[in-house]
Structure 1
Amino acid sequence: MTTTATDFIHRFVPGTTAGAAPLLLLHGTGGDETDLLPLGQMIAPGAALLSPRGKVLEHGMPRFFRRLAEGVFDHEDVVRRAHELADFVAAAGERHGLGKPVAVGFSNGANIAAAMLQLRPDALAGAVLIRAMVPLPVAPASDLAGKPVLILSGAMDPIIPEANAAELARQLSAAGAAVTHEVLPAGHQLTQCDITLARDFLAGR
């Protein structure tokens, strides 16, 4: 697969800190390429930021893949879009001189990041998955040996059952990822605790 770095509307912020891993910022439903830039700057000051806008529209709201209902995904589209995004990341990395990024995704963005980890593990250096759920009905065989992954779930999340997030953690761990799964006293929304844990996780890489 070949694409160009302009296939996704996106924002790129060059890094100012030598050695800081670049971040791939992936917004939730209804977000855009600007949504997570402040989060990226808070959790990894000085890191290069690559933030694409999802191409799928649901009632005018950008997403990274189609869904049939809340929590029910179009799995064929998940696979296609994960490969498409991984190709974009590779092309953008060449264009901007970036190493492999750590994906930081929220909700729909976390789900496409999880799919990328499983389908294209070499595209990412790791991931912070905020309010993620299992993206595919059967986990693809993938080698995530030692890849650091932080999953941040909400104990009171009305969208994602706790068992689903736990299954995602199990799948990624079984593939060899170094998974940390934290269940926070929160719903589906982003909280200060998410920011603190993500910052500490990235600083400790």
Structure 2
Amino acid sequence: MSQTESSADQTGLDHIHRFVPATGSGLRPILALHGTGGDETDLLPLAEMLAPGAAVLSPRGKVSEGGMPRFFRRLSEGVFDEADVVAKVHALADFVEAARKTYDIEAPIALGFSNGANIAAAIMLLRPEVLAGGLLLRAMVPLQEKQETERAESLAGKPVLIASGAMDPIVPVDDPTRLAERFRACGADVTHEILPGGHGLGQSDLGLAKAFMEAHARIG
């Protein structure tokens, strides 16, 4: 898998990231967003497994929590710094739009795990035009107050899959359901599946995610 590894200095883009050019045609690119402690390499194998041949844009979160990269700050486990969430959403959304021009790619489908799923969810609520859909693995409600604007109506018809774990010790039990309801209120085509297991991913997640990408990753 050919990859371009870039820093802000090398490209003018403001996130360290990996870009994997497409090897197939007619596929939407994937925006791969890692969990806490991951980096821009973490989800590349998963993206390739779920959407073989698709281009992959994979940025590294710019926040460090005890040396672990994240996409936004949190005040404690499960309690987010919402002002920072909003600021980081706009910074990451601007990066994605700049990267689309640099790499000449279509609007991507987000593939996010944990913290990456949360920032993807927040982008869809605050900057819905940036993404073509979202595959959100172990997502929480990223913003407790409804801060999205009328632009969230542009989620109409966009596919969203939320996959949560029945015994997840990190994600509050009602959060994924509330997130799904919020997306539906914005017109998104939402599927929420509660799977066996905890915060880590299992075979059920992979099968569900693969089916989602097969259904929605093709352009047109």
TM class, shorter-length: over 0.9
For 2:12 and 2:209, locate their aligned partners in 1 and report how far apart those are by CA, in whole Å: 27
Name the counterpart of 1:52.
59
Name the counterpart of 1:103.
110
Deviations 1:67-88 (A, max 9, x none): 0000000000000000100000
Residue identity opposite 1:41 in structure 2:
E
| Long gaps (5+) in structure 2 | 1-7
Q: RMSD of aligned C-alpha atoms?
A: 1.1
Deviations 1:87-123 (A, max 9, x none): 0000001000100000000000000000000000000
User: Structure 2 residue aligned with 1:157, among 168, 191, 208?
Assistant: 168
1:1-205 alignment, distance < 5 Å: 6-139=13-146, 140-141=148-149, 142-143=152-153, 144-205=155-216
| Long gaps (5+) in structure 1 | none
Deviations 1:24-54 (A, max 9, x none): 0000000000000000000000000000000
Q: Greater CA deviation, 139-148 or 111-120?
A: 139-148
For 1:104 and 1:119, locate their aligned partners in 2 and report how far apart those are by CA, in whole Å: 17
Identity rate of aligned residues, in percent?
Answer: 62
Which portions of structure 1, spanning 4 or more consecutive aligned residues, are displaced by more than 3 angstroms? none
Q: TM-score, normalised by structure 1?
A: 0.97
Q: TM-score, normalised by structure 2?
A: 0.90
Count of aligned residue pairs for this structure pair: 203
For 1:101 and 1:39, locate their aligned partners in 2 and report how far apart those are by CA, in whole Å: 15
Residue identity opposite 1:200 in structure 2:
A
Query: Aligned with 1:204: secondary structure?
Result: helix
